[in-house]
C-alpha cells in the first residue's frame, strides 16, 4: 500500500489520502482552478511553517513557557533568475513573558524542522508512469 494515494476528483483539484485523512488541493482561478482550497505549493509552504512552529511549541512546552501571544509568519522572496522562491523567512513573535535567555535556543530548536532538513538535504526523486 502506498504512503499517499493521489486522486483527481474534478477540475484542477487533486486529492491526497494520507492514513485516515484526505487533503484536497485546487489551483488559483488565474491558473484555471476554482480557487476553492489551498494549492499544492501553499501546502508545501504550510508544511515548512507548521513543522517549524511545532518545534517552537515543543521548546516552550519543555521549558514551561506560556505560548499566549506567540505566532509565526512565513514570507518568501522570489528569485527572478531562477524563476523560483529564493528565500523563505520564518518570523516568530515571542510571547511577552518569553525569557530573553532562550531566544537563540528557540531558533536553534526551530531549525530542527524535519521538512526543512529534507529540503536542504533533498531526496532523490523517481517518477514513473505505467
pLDDT for 81-96, tens place per residue? 999 999 999 999 999 9
Instruction: Please check whether residues 31 and 62 belong to one and the same domain.
Output: no
Total domains, the chain? 2
* 24 lies in the same domain as 65: no
Structural contact between residues 52 and 110, judged by C-beta atoms closer than 8 angstroms: yes
Residue 68 to residue 57: CA distance in whole angstroms: 11
Whether 23 and 47 map to the same domain: the answer is no
- Quick one: 44 and 32 in the same domain? no
Q: Which domain holds residue 80?
A: 40-122
Cross-strand pairs, 72: 92
Mean local confidence (pLDDT), 70-89: 97
pLDDT bucket at 49, cuts 50 / 70 / 90: very high
What CATH number does the domain containing 114 carry? 3.30.300.20
Shared-domain flag, residues 72 and 29: no
Same domain, 111 and 70: yes
Q: Are residues 109 and 47 in the same domain?
A: yes
Res 2: pLDDT: 85
pLDDT computed for residue 88 by the predictor? 97
Query: What residue has cell string 507548521?
Result: 50
Overall pTM surpassing 0.85 (yes/no): yes
Q: Are residues 19 and 79 in the same domain?
A: no
Residue 1 has pLDDT above 80, yes or no: no
User: Distances in Å between the alpha carbon of 120 and those of 30, 40, 43, 47, 111?
Assistant: 31, 19, 18, 14, 11
98 domain residue, yes or no: yes
Asked if residue 127 belongs to a domain, the reply is no
Amino acid at each position: 500500500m502506498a504512503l499517499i494515494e493521489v486522486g483527481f476528483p474534478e477540475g484542477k483539484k487533486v486529492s491526497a489520502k494520507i492514513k485516515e485523512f484526505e487533503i484536497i488541493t485546487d489551483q488559483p482561478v488565474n491558473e484555471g482552478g476554482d480557487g476553492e482550497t489551498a494549492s499544492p505549493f501553499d501546502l508545501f509552504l504550510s508544511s515548512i511553517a507548521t513543522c517549524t512552529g511545532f518545534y517552537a511549541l515543543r521548546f516552550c512546552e519543555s521549558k514551561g513557557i506560556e505560548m499566549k501571544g506567540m505566532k509565526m509568519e512565513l514570507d518568501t522572496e522570489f528569485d527572478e533568475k531562477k524563476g523560483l522562491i529564493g528565500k523563505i523567512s520564518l518570523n516568530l513573535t515571542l510571547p511577552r513573558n518569553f525569557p530573553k535567555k532562550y531566544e537563540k535556543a528557540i531558533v536553534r530548536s526551530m531549525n530542527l524542522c524535519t521538512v526543512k532538513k529534507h529540503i536542504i538535504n533533498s531526496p532523490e526523486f523517481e517518477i514513473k508512469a505505467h
